[in-house]
Amino acid sequence: LAMAYLAWGLAQRWCPSSLQVISFPVVQLHLNRTAMRLSQKDFESAMNQVKLLKKDPGNEVKLKLYALYKQATEGPCNMPKPGVFDLINKAKWDAWNALGSLPKETARQNYVDLVSSLSSSLESSSQVEPGTDRKSTGYETLMVTSEDGITKIMLNRPTKKNALNVEMYHEIMHALKAASKDDSAITVLTGNGDYYSSGNDLTNFTDIPPGGVEEKAKNGAILLREFVGCFIDFPKPLIAMVNGPAVGISVTLLGLFDAVYASDRATFHTPFSHLGQSPEGCSSYTFPKIMSPAKATEMLVFGKKLTAGEACAQGLVTEVFPDSTFQKEVWTRLKAFAKLPPNAMRISKEIIRNREKEKLHAVNAEECSVLQGRWLSDECMNAVMNFLSRKSKL
Ligand SMILES: CCCCC/C=C/CC(=O)SCCNC(=O)CCNC(=O)[C@H](O)C(C)(C)COP(=O)(O)OP(=O)(O)OC[C@H]1O[C@@H](n2cnc3c(N)ncnc32)[C@H](O)[C@@H]1OP(=O)(O)O
């Protein structure tokens, strides 16, 4: 045990000969829009943060940290490949070499992101409540927990039916990025309270910046594109537990999940025309493929609300459970899934998703650009005003 601690301590100081390794990951990292903005100071502070971790994050994560650190400071792997029997150095070399020509700035950003996800999930600081060492605090609109190989992201504005305000969009993106790098095998999104989510928070439209409604619409489209992009690119199996009614963007995104389990209390409603808006979440592409163009039109154009049974019959939902046994049955199933070899699941998802990724990003960009225009239309503004002045509800 003393040796293990010594090794971990040395690993924190990035001494190449100290890392104890039993397995290694194939690390997949891609260019992050914010990479260029990352300062050397953030990177150094992340290095210091690693030293504060009280728990050993495991060899896989340490290898990732090692590889990112080397890439960020020295660039692509420049060491001769160690011999097959030099297991530790070979694993480290493999991890570093797997980063290929990843730019130094991106490696720095990924290092910082990884440390930040570890800090929130591994009781690194005083943020963590006693007895809940796997609970990630610091979110205003979410509850994020990780146990039994499952990271659960729970929308947590039950009094607002889990409507997605701007803060929640940002927090979901943060939680997904952290989940993509933590040691869980699968990730689950669900809602707290009686709703899964009532979709976009319509008060998002009220806070007008100095540049006016045009600037508001432009910023909204940028945020939406980045948000949906996180779902397109999410690398692990992503499962929705739809605990109650779902509206708008919380429905359209389901086409980007790998499985959707629903309570029989759930309904699925995309009233875009009623709101003077148009489809997002790649649903203009995924829904016709999933359920046929005519059925997709009924939902996306005419705003037909589906029951859980109907959504299942049309392929949007994987399986429906009685509300009384929904939580128990689905969690039992998810815990079994989470025991499957995580790398195999990732790779299988990747091979399915990769064929569609480029198309999905193009659809996302187009949908956001069309919506940017819709948000400035009288039809949309009237619908939002009607809801906010309590004149209408779905
Ligand atoms: C960055 C921008 C990206 C934009 C992406 C675009 C996405 C498109 C969409 O998502 S479209 C869908 C938009 N959603 C709606 O139109 C739903 C509006 N809400 C309702 O119609 C009803 O609230 C309800 C049917 C969901 C629930 O009705 P119920 O009577 O059961 O409950 P209340 O209305 O009393 O709701 C409780 C409080 O919650 C507030 N609330 C609920 N949903 C929203 C919402 N989407 N936006 C803002 N606020 C919402 C509601 O106002 C109540 O608040 P109060 O207690 O302060 O009165």
Confidence check: pLDDT of 359 > 50: yes
- Per-residue pLDDT, averaged over 276-297, amounts to 98
Q: What is the 3-state secondary structure (H, E, C) of 223-241?
A: HHHHHHHHHHHCCCCEEEE
What spacing in Å lies between the alpha carbon of 300 and ligand 1's midpoint? 18
241 within ligand 1 shell (Cβ under 6 A): no
In whole angstroms, what is the distance from residue 18 CA to residue 157 CA? 45
300 within ligand 1 shell (Cβ under 6 A): no
Q: Atom of ligand 1 at shortest distance to CA of 203?
A: 48
| Residues found in the chain | 394
| Residue pair 196/245 in contact by the 8 Å Cβ criterion | yes
pLDDT of residue 119: 72
Least confident of 14-28, 244-258, 380-394: 14-28
pLDDT of residue 98: 81
Report the percentage of the chain scoring pLDDT > 90: 63
pLDDT of residue 85: 62
In whole angstroms, what is the distance from residue 51 CA to residue 215 CA? 42
pLDDT of residue 93: 85
Q: Is 168 helix (H, G, I), strand (E, B) or coil?
A: helix
- Per-residue pLDDT, averaged over 185-204, amounts to 97
Q: Is 272 helix (H, G, I), strand (E, B) or coil?
A: coil
Cα-flanking dihedrals φ and ψ of residue 57, to 5°? -80, 0
**Both ends of the chain: CA-CA distance in Å?**
60
Q: What's the pTM value of the predicted model, to 2 decimals?
A: 0.72
Confidence check: pLDDT of 160 > 80: yes
Confidence check: pLDDT of 7 > 60: no
- Per-residue pLDDT, averaged over 230-255, amounts to 98
| Residue pair 370/380 in contact by the 8 Å Cβ criterion | no
249 within ligand 1 shell (Cβ under 6 A): yes
Model confidence at 144, in pLDDT bands (50, 70, 90)?
very high
Q: Atom of ligand 1 at shortest distance to CA of 272?
A: 11
Q: What is the pLDDT of residues 325-345, one digit of tens each?
A: 999 999 999 999 999 999 999
In whole angstroms, what is the distance from residue 27 CA to residue 50 CA? 19
In whole angstroms, how far apart are CA 285 and each of 173, 240, 289? 22, 19, 7
Q: Give Dmax over CA atoms of the chain in angstroms.
A: 73
Confidence check: pLDDT of 79 > 60: yes
Model confidence at 20, in pLDDT bands (50, 70, 90)?
very low
Q: Helix 87-97 vs helix 59-74: angle between axes, to the nearest 10 degrees?
A: 60
pLDDT of residue 62: 79
Confidence check: pLDDT of 309 > 60: yes
pLDDT of residue 130: 33
pLDDT of residue 24: 27
* Nearest-5° Cα angle at 33, 24 to 282: 90
What spacing in Å lies between the alpha carbon of 202 and ligand 1's midpoint? 7
- Per-residue pLDDT, averaged over 211-216, amounts to 92
| Residue pair 162/191 in contact by the 8 Å Cβ criterion | yes
Least confident of 15-24, 247-256, 357-366: 15-24
pLDDT of residue 299: 98
Q: What is the pLDDT of residues 84-139, one digit of tens each?
A: 666 677 778 888 888 888 878 877 877 887 787 777 655 433 333 333 344 566 89
367 within ligand 1 shell (Cβ under 6 A): no
Tokens of 122: 């591994």
pLDDT of residue 261: 98
- Contacts with 114 (C-beta within 8 Å, 6 or more apart), sequence order: 61, 64, 65, 68, 181
pLDDT of residue 131: 32
In whole angstroms, what is the distance from residue 175 CA to residue 246 CA? 20
Radius of gyration of the chain (CA): 22
pLDDT of residue 136: 62
How many of the other CB atoms lie within 10 Å of CB of 393?
6
pLDDT of residue 248: 98
pLDDT of residue 214: 94
- Per-residue pLDDT, averaged over 68-78, amounts to 91
DSSP for 30-79, please give it: ---TTGGG--HHHHHHHHHHHHH--S---HHHHHHHHHHHHHHHH-S--S
Q: Atom of ligand 1 at shortest distance to CA of 393?
A: 21
Which residue CA neighbors atom 40 of ligand 1 most closely?
Answer: 160
| Residue pair 278/370 in contact by the 8 Å Cβ criterion | yes
pLDDT of residue 270: 98
* CB burial of residue 349 (10 Å; 0-12, 13-18, 19+): middle
160 within ligand 1 shell (Cβ under 6 A): yes
Of the ranges 16-20, 21-25, 106-110, 258-262, the best mean pLDDT one: 258-262
Name which of 256, 260, 267, 269 is nearest 300 in CA terms.
269
